[in-house]
Structure formats: structure tokens, C-alpha cells
Chains A and B, each alone.
Chain A
């Protein structure tokens, strides 16, 4: 599983970084920087929660890495 983000939709609410600090940190302007590579199995439930919690639905999980 990979996390992908729609950069146009993302407004920098930052909830994803609160829920999943293991993989997501925020830059100086509050926009997420997502660690590369597949999501470790143990973090999958949290990743799903981050995706579901994003207020603008900018996050998604994909089997293949397509976008950063």
C-alpha cells in the first residue's frame, strides 16, 4: 500500500500528520511531506484513518505508487 495525495485538493489542514506522524510530517507552511515507500503493515489502520479524516479528501491509498 502507498499513500498518494492530490496536491491541488490539499489545503494543509494537517490532520494526517497528527494521526500518522510515523509517515507524515508538515513543512514550514503546514503541508504534508509523506515518507516514500510502502506503508508498513502495522500502520495500515492508521493510514486508513488519516485518509478518511482528511477534510478535503485529498488522500488515498493505492496498491501501486503513482504520485508523491
Chain B
């Protein structure tokens, strides 16, 4: 496994690149402050946590809200069950992430930096902690670690703020958005760890360099996790715009023929395999087609597996991961999950299919956070991709591991 930019450098199997080696290989960043914000805006870099929002615009907004009080949160919660990219980056290139975080602190005049890492990702947590200890005093003084609980919603930005402030990783009502009022009520710049690592390189080589990678009109590189029916599941760094078929080939090809692809993880969408291969892995291009990159997971469903049963299993997980604060999410996802399970376990029936279709529309947009929205978008894509399977599903409930 090797990489183009983020994962370039020493063999990834040797673990974390130390601070001295990192500085020797890449030199110091030359851009910070307003020129860095402008470079980020021009680069087209978007957030890699799932929302794909412009990094430059986010930095600009926090910079203008900050009166020397802002807080930076490097988000490495990686709660998405199929995603591995943030962990891989934290374990192998922690100083790219830290460069990005401390450049952000200088640029938006922040008083502190929080490294928010999933508590179950023990190696990543330890690697970030060790890397932080290697940084200069002035940086170490303002930074601290925070463990993200092992919950799907822990990476959601208001939940992260809530955990850091009060020890409770459940989302809060927005507005105010953390950009305006986040950790310790200060403007908070929360950015996925991969996004920060890209910033570290843009601050050295500039926005034109960033845009020099990319295919079919897309710019930059990105980390993609390949999961399910591929020969070598794991993370690859690709040029944006690379097609799903090409990314699958980089993971050693299919282990058996695939019937469908789940793009974007559990908050993503099912796509019939035949329609998936030529799709470009790029947030903007996918959005134009009504799809999304999410956190960059490409999961292949081998045709020997049952899409209905897999959907039921994932809906059960998403329902259990509701933080149980908003009625439509807590009760709605549970009801949807139960209906899916009934179809999977006891065979299809017209009432449950009708309920699934109605609830999948009614629940949307009715939570404080996007958890219910992600879950019903996933379900609606299942109902359409596996419409024949849902209509004729036998009582088999193939309980298969993820």
C-alpha cells in the first residue's frame, strides 16, 4: 500500500512518522493566516468527515468570528463502522494532522486545540498522543487529547462540542452552529483529520499544486476505504475523480461478483453495481448526480449476499445508535428497523413495505442532528436498489457479519 500525497513517504507498515523525520522530509509550512485561508478557498478542498463543505469558507467564517478566542477540534472520532482512513492517517502520518491543526490555530487565532479521537481506536489515540508530545512547547501547551465515545453520533460536530465541554456525546440543537458558538461557547473550527492533513500540504505547496492532481475535472486526492467484496479491503489514496471500478481494481479487484455498492458508509446510498462502476469518486461530481461521497467508504455487496438482510442489519444498528433525544428519530428509526427485520425474518408483506415507504419520508428533517436523515436516505436507496428483493423477500434472514 502506498499513497500519492498524504500517504507518500516512508513505508506505512513502519508506523508513525516521527516529528524530526516529518520536518526533514517536508520542511516547514510557508503559508499561514489570511494567505492560507485564500489558498484553501482557491484549492477547492472540502471537508472529509462526510459533509464535504468548503474548508476555506469554514476557516474564513471562524476567523472572522474569533476574537482571539477560537478553539480548533481535529475530528478523528471515525464512528463510521466501515471507515478506516482516519485511523490509518493518525497511525502513520500524525504530524500532517497536527501541522494542519496548529496552522488552523495560528490562522484563526485560537486559544486551544483539541484532538478528538475515537476511544476504541487505541493505536490511533496512542499515536496522536505520542506525536503531540514531540511537538514544540508552544504548541503542546495549547493542545489536549479528548476521547470520543464509541458511538455513531460522537463524531457529529455538536455532539463533539457537547462531549468536550460536558462529557456527553449527544448532539445539541443548532443553531447556534459550533462555528459560531462551540467549545467553551467560543467559535470552533472543527475539521476532520484528513482535511487537516491536506491543509498541511497546501500550506507548503500552494493551491495550484493541490489542484494539479485530480481527474475528469475533479481536484486533489482523497482517502477511500474499500470494504466488503474486494480482495484487499482497506484504504487507498486516489486522485479525485477516479472511478469506483478503478478504486476497486486498486484494492485487488472483486472477490466475487457484486450486486450492489454502498457508497458513503451507513449514511450513504445503495447503488446497483451496474450503475456504480463508472461513478467518479469526487464530492462535487457525485453531488451533481444526487449522490454523496460521505466519508469515502465504498462497500461492495457480493451477489451471494442478501441486500434486504444487510439493510435490516444496518437499520438495526442505526436505530440503536440514535441518541434517543428526538422522538421522530428514536421511535421512527426503531419502527423502521423493526419493519425491515420483519421483512427479512418472516418474509415480505404489503403492510410493512407501505410503512417503510411512508415513514422513510416522514422522519426526514425531524431531528436536532442529521442522524435520522442519514438513516432514511440509506433506507430509501435500499428500497429502490433492492425493490424486487423487498417485494419478494422470503423468510430467510441471512445473519451475516458485516
Is the pairing of A and B real? yes
**Which of B327, B335, B363 contacts A10 (CB under 8 A)?**
B327
**Which of A6, A12, A27, A29 contacts B173 (CB under 8 A)?**
A6
Q: Which parts of A10-56 form the interface with B (CB within 8 Å)? A: 10-12, 27-31, 33
Kindly list chain B residues whose C-beta atoms are within 8 Å of the C-beta of A6: 173, 368
Closest to B330 in A: A29
Q: Does A68 contact B365, Cβ atoms closer than 8 Å? A: yes
Known interface pairs A7-B326, A29-B327. Does A66 touch B175 (Cβ–Cβ under 8 Å)? yes
Q: Does B328 contact A7, Cβ atoms closer than 8 Å? A: yes
Interface range, B side: 10 to 19
Q: Does A29 contact B365, Cβ atoms closer than 8 Å? A: no
Q: Mark B332-367, 1 if CB is under 8 A from A, else 0.
A: 100100000000000000000000000100110111
Kindly list chain A residues whose C-beta atoms are within 8 Å of the C-beta of B331: 29, 31
B64 within 8 A of A: no
B54 within 8 A of A: no
Known interface pairs A7-B366, A68-B365, A68-B366. Does A29 touch B172 (Cβ–Cβ under 8 Å)? no
Q: Does B172 contact A31, Cβ atoms closer than 8 Å? A: no
Kindly list chain A residues whose C-beta atoms are within 8 Å of the C-beta of B367: 7
B326 to chain A, nearest CB (A): 4
Kindly list chain A residues whose C-beta atoms are within 8 Å of the C-beta of B172: 8
B2 within 8 A of A: no
Q: Mark B117-145, 1 if CB is under 8 A from A, else 0.
A: 00000000000000000000000000000
Interface range, A side: 10 to 19
Kindly list chain B residues whose C-beta atoms are within 8 Å of the C-beta of A8: 172-173, 325-326, 368
Kindly list chain B residues whose C-beta atoms are within 8 Å of the C-beta of A68: 365-366
CA distance A57 to B88 in the complex (A): 45
Q: Does B332 contact A7, Cβ atoms closer than 8 Å? A: no
Kindly list chain A residues whose C-beta atoms are within 8 Å of the C-beta of B327: 7, 10-12, 29-31
Kindly list chain A residues whose C-beta atoms are within 8 Å of the C-beta of B326: 7-8, 10
Kindly list chain B residues whose C-beta atoms are within 8 Å of the C-beta of A66: 175
Q: Which parts of B355-383 form the interface with A (CB within 8 Å)? A: 359, 362-363, 365-368
Kindly list chain A residues whose C-beta atoms are within 8 Å of the C-beta of B325: 7-8
Kindly list chain B residues whose C-beta atoms are within 8 Å of the C-beta of A31: 327-328, 331, 366
CA distance A59 to B175 in the complex (A): 14
CA distance A8 to B368 in the complex (A): 6
Closest to A68 in B: B365
A7-B173, A66-B175 are known; give 17 further A-B pairs, CB within 8 A. Answer: A6-B368, A7-B325, A7-B327, A7-B366, A9-B173, A10-B327, A11-B327, A12-B327, A27-B328, A27-B362, A27-B363, A29-B328, A29-B332, A29-B335, A31-B331, A31-B366, A68-B365
Could you list some 23 contacts between A and B, CB below 8 A?
Answer: A6-B173, A6-B368, A7-B325, A7-B326, A7-B327, A7-B329, A7-B366, A7-B368, A8-B172, A9-B173, A10-B326, A11-B327, A27-B328, A27-B332, A27-B363, A29-B327, A29-B328, A31-B328, A31-B366, A33-B366, A67-B173, A67-B175, A68-B366
